[in-house]
Structure formats: structure tokens, C-alpha cells
DNA sequence: ACCTGAACACCGTTCAAGT
DNA sequence: ACCTGAACACCGTTCAAGT
């Protein structure tokens, strides 16, 4: 309609950026060839000149999110590096929750993913981990990070907003039927400062403490 | 067509069972009102007399999967009970990977979920955990279990089938570019008996060891 | 070379119509 | 009361047609 919509520039990068914008706004199910096209002022069918199909576009979205994760330098100390990477991954997945479950899913891993994994293993090898124990540490931390992001994204309340108390009021489990749930909620929220977000650091520390112990043992 | 298709019995349970069958066969994106209807020899529109809409059907599928998870008795010892529950959850999610990410996601938790959570907290309270430390243990284990199921479901090779070596041959990272990845793969697979599935027990032990230590400390 | 419009085989959902 | 057929507004994708 408007003369602005006429652009000669339709690139893969631009399409990915538009896809991220649509997904952030309407979730992954809101991403269609037509909706991403509209975001760029173009028909959905035009995208097929730059991406193979929708699956290719989703691959590109997953790779984009993965590249947002901060990766400490190769010579970093293993534990703080694992921590920084985990914290960054969690923030990225909280900002783009539609990406959880896409990250490692695609059959052809992106080059960024291979580089990323190689560096993580590097930290651990430098610290004296064997291949087996490095894999143990890596697998446990990643499963926890992804799972936490998954739990956080599907939680009925939003973290980081102090609405846990509102949530408790809304749910209010019958103490006769669910005594432990009721006790847990009243203890945690009665204390006044509970935040589910803190569970991330606790869980990560559980894992890294055991990993560290297994190294020095 | 056939006279068999005429049935007077179209129940919510039957619809859920048909939905599970379709999802197991074609994934969650294969579940449509029409496809589930066809599974029952009925038009898709007929389902609306027994489920509110597709979202309601998906809620019911999530609840069904959740109920498949084995829950040890209320008086079980906390650590072995947590372990059995985690192992069962993992097996259920491996059998129905389409359910990962649906389990805790729905705004109205099923009664089964509340009962389940209440019992888990009960084990921990009986062992002397505070509300805070019980929540720490619960959150960490669940994030790990869900995340591991997620990783496992998206892995390029199938676990429990010994195809890890085939996978390594297929990927074969360039040792010049990804030295740590190459070393890791050759060390693990050279030893001959690597199975990604074992990482589940290792990671779970990492977490439960730290939890146990925090209890007795 | 790049974008488009029509077409095809699908969706979820509504609703009037059948039994 | 329960099931259906047509209809609506969507999908992904193909392909001939436009520039």
C-alpha cells in the first residue's frame, strides 16, 4: 500500500530478524510464512527465494537464539565459565521462550553449536577432567538449564515480578487435601521473600558442587 | 463406510486415548480435531460435544501422560522415592516425547499434579527438610528430569540402541577445528561402552548427593 | 532474479441442519 | 442428545505468471 513497503532488500538475515520479532510477540505458533512476510511488507511466498521452507526458517531461528548465549573465553576458569554460560543461556531462553526445545533439536547442528560445545569441553579438559567426567558435567548442567527454562516458561506466575504471593492466593490448595503443599506455600510466602528465580542458582550450585567434588576426589 | 464405524460411544476417555495414539504415531503436530476424529471413525466436529476445544484436548493429553508416572507410597524413604519417580518420569517422557513441555504448562493444574506434588513434599518433610530446602530439591530434580528428557528427545541418535558409534562416524568433527569435541568423541567411543542414557543416573546422583549433604550439614 | 496470485490440501471453529 | 456438512478464516507449499 504505502510506498515504504517497496524494498529491494529481502535477505536471509532480515527474514530471521522478522521471524524472531514475530515469535517474541506471538509465540512460535504465530510464526507462519505469511506472518513473517507481512512483518517485512511482502507476501509469504516471497520468502521461499531465501529460505528453503518453513523448517529451514525454524532452524535459522534456533541458531540465532543459540548465538545470543554468552560464551566466556577459552582460557576461563571452568566453574565460573560454566556458571556464566548457564546464567546467560537462562536469560536468553527467558527472553525467547519459544526457542526452548528447538536449541539442540535440529538434525544438522549449526557451526555455532559445534564451536560452543568445543569451548565448553576445552575449559573442562584444561582443568583435568577426563572425557567421561567432562561429559557428565556438561550433560547435567545443560539438562538442568534447559529444564529450568522450560519450567520457568510454563509457570503460572511470572518470575522476577513478585507475583508469587498473588499466585498462592489464587491457587490456595485445600490444607485438608494437600497438607504439604499448603504448608510449603505458607512457609515460603509467609517468610516474605520467596522468588522462584532463586532456585536456578541453588540447583546449579548443587550440580557444580558435586562435579567439583568428583574432580578433586 | 463400514457398519463398524457406527458407535454410540464417544467418551472423553476414548477421545484422549485416540489422541495419545495419534500423538505417539505422528507427533503432537499430527494431533488435529479431524485426525483424532478419524482415529475413532467419526468426524472431527463430533469431538466438540465431549471436549471444549483443542486446547482442552491437549490439557487432557498432558494430564494422561502425567498420570503414567509412577509415584512411590507416601511413607517411602525420600531419596529412593525421588529416584524412582525421576526414573519413571524419564521413561514415560521417552515413550511420549510429544508431552515434554506440556506437563506443567497448563494454567489449571490437574488434580493428579497437585496430589503428586503434595506427596513429593511429604517425603521431604518427613525426612526433616524445611519448606525452602524441600523446594530446592524438588525444583532441581524436576528441572533436570525435564531437561534431560528434552535433550534425549532431540538427540540425533537414539539412546538404548548402541548407535552412538554410528553417530560419531556420521558427524566426525574436524579435529583441527574442534579439537576438544574430536578428543571427547574418540575417548568415549574408543572405550567402547559409552551410552548417553547413563548420563541420567550420573546427573541425578550429582543433584541428590548435594541435596543429601545439605540436609545433614 | 525476484516477487506475486491463484490454487491445492490442509487447519480450528461455528452453526444450521439432520437423526 | 449427539453427529454432520458446509462455511469461514486460516495454514504450507507449488507453480505459472508477471516485472
- Hey, is the C-beta of B13 within 8 angstroms of any chain A C-beta? no
> With 80 as the cut, is the pLDDT of residue B164 above it?
no
Beta carbons of B65 and B96 less than 8 angstroms apart: yes
Give residue B45's pLDDT.
92
> With 60 as the cut, is the pLDDT of residue B104 above it?
no
Indicate left, alpha or beta for B11 from its phi (over 0: left) and psi (-120 to 50: alpha): beta
- Hey, is the C-beta of B142 within 8 angstroms of any chain A C-beta? yes
Question: Which residue bears the cell 525421588?
Answer: B82
Dig out the grid coordinates for B160 from the structure: 538404548
pTM metric for this prediction? 0.90
Q: Which domains does chain A have, with CATH numbers?
A: 1-51 (1.10.10.60), 72-217 (1.10.357.10)
Burial of A193 (0-12, 13-18, 19+ CB in 10 A): exposed
Give residue A5's pLDDT.
38
Give residue B153's pLDDT.
85
**For residue B124, which of B214, B55, B48 has the smallest C-alpha distance?**
B214
CA distance A121 to A129: 9
pLDDT tens per residue across span B23-71: 999 998 899 999 999 999 999 999 999 999 999 999 999 999 999 999 9
Residues 16-55 of B with CB under 7 A from strand C: 31-35, 44-45, 48, 53-55
CA distance A122 to A75: 8
At B4, is the pLDDT very low, low, confident or very high (cuts 50, 70, 90)? Answer: very low
Q: Which of residues 164-193 of B touch A (CB under 8 A)?
A: 173, 177-181, 183-184, 187-188, 191
Minimal Cβ distance to B121: which of A146, A156, A180: A180
* Protein CA A39 to sugar C1' D17 (Å): 25
Question: Which residue bears the cell 577459552?
Answer: A74
For chains A and B, count residue pairs whose Cβ atoms are closer than 8 Å.
183
Which residues in A lie closer than 8 A to residue B140 (C-beta atoms)? 144, 199, 202-203, 206-207
* Protein CA A46 to sugar C1' D16 (Å): 15
DSSP B74: T
pLDDT in tens, chain A (217 residues): 332 334 457 899 999 999 999 999 999 889 999 999 999 999 999 999 999 999 999 999 999 999 999 999 999 999 999 999 999 999 999 999 999 877 655 666 778 889 999 999 999 999 999 999 999 999 999 999 999 999 998 776 554 444 566 666 556 778 899 999 999 999 998 877 788 999 999 999 999 999 999 998 7
Amino acid at each position: 500500500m504505502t510506498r515504504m513497503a517497496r524494498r529491494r532488500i529481502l535477505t536471509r538475515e532480515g527474514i530471521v530478524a522478522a521471524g524472531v520479532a514475530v515469535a517474541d510477540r506471538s509465540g512460535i505458533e504465530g510464526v507462519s510464512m505469511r506472518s513473517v512476510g507481512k512483518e517485512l511488507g511482502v507476501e509469504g511466498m516471497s520468502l521461499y527465494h531465501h529460505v528453503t521452507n518453513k523448517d529451514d526458517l525454524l532452524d535459522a531461528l534456533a541458531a540465532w537464539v543459540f548465538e545470543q548465549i554468552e560464551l566466556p573465553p577459552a582460557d576461563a576458569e571452568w566453574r565460573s565459565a560454566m556458571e556464566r554460560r548457564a546464567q546467560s543461556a537462562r536469560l536468553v531462553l527467558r527472553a525467547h521462550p519459544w526457542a526452548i526445545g528447538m536449541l539442540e533439536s535440529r538434525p544438522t547442528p549449526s557451526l555455532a553449536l559445534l564451536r560452543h560445545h568445543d569451548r565448553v569441553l576445552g575449559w573442562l579438559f584444561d582443568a583435568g577432567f577426563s572425557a567421561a567426567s567432562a561429559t557428565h558435567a556438561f550433560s547435567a548442567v545443560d539438562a538442568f538449564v534447559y529444564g529450568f527454562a522450560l519450567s520457568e516458561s510454563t509457570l503460572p506466575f511470572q518470575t522476577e515480578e513478585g507475583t508469587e504471593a498473588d499466585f498462592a492466593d489464587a491457587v490456595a490448595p485445600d490444607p485438608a487435601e494437600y497438607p504439604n503443599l499448603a504448608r510449603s506455600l505458607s512457609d515460603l510466602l509467609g517468610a516474605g521473600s520467596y522468588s522462584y528465580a532463586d532456585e536456578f542458582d541453588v540447583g546449579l550450585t548443587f550440580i557444580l558442587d558435586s562435579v567439583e567434588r568428583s574432580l578433586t576426589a
